[in-house]
Amino acid sequence: MPIAPVPQSIDATPPSFEGLLTLGLYVAIATFLIGLLLFISWALGQRTRSQVKQEPYESGIFPTGQARLKAPAPFYLVAIFFLIFDLEVVFIASWAVAYDRLGWAGFGQITFFILILFLGLVYLWKVGGLDWGPSAQKRLPRAEQESL
């Protein structure tokens, strides 16, 4: 089954006035409705203050001790690395879909992209950004360990 040819030129005509008017009207109505719903919830909502509501926890259990953990648990780093590598996969996969059209220039650009990512990973590894757990805790100064 033959694949339909992809058009080589993109129609670069500016949007019509009616199209811009429709978009502006949609944005205005959406903004008005969001503002109206926020105002209604603010106006009809209860405003009660009490000693219990001012406490840091409302679960019925009184807080004891410090809220900070003694051992570092940088799960946020894992989440950030996950997001970064997901975005990288999107860029690399989009290059892989169109590699035949991009030619050597596209290959050079994706190679440069991967090289920059690799250098960033090496930098993180060298500064200890990938180390956590008991072995990483032992290397921290005492003052830094207590703040974690």
The whole-angstrom separation of Cα 77 and Cα 83 is 10
Q: Domains (ranges, CATH) in the chain?
A: 71-147 (1.20.58.1610)
Residue 87 parent element (H or E)? helix 75-97
Residues 43-76 have pLDDT tens digits of: 998 888 887 677 666 566 666 777 666 655 566 7
Neighbouring residues of 124: CB distance < 8 A, sequence distance ≥ 6: 130
Percent of the chain's residues with pLDDT above 70: 68
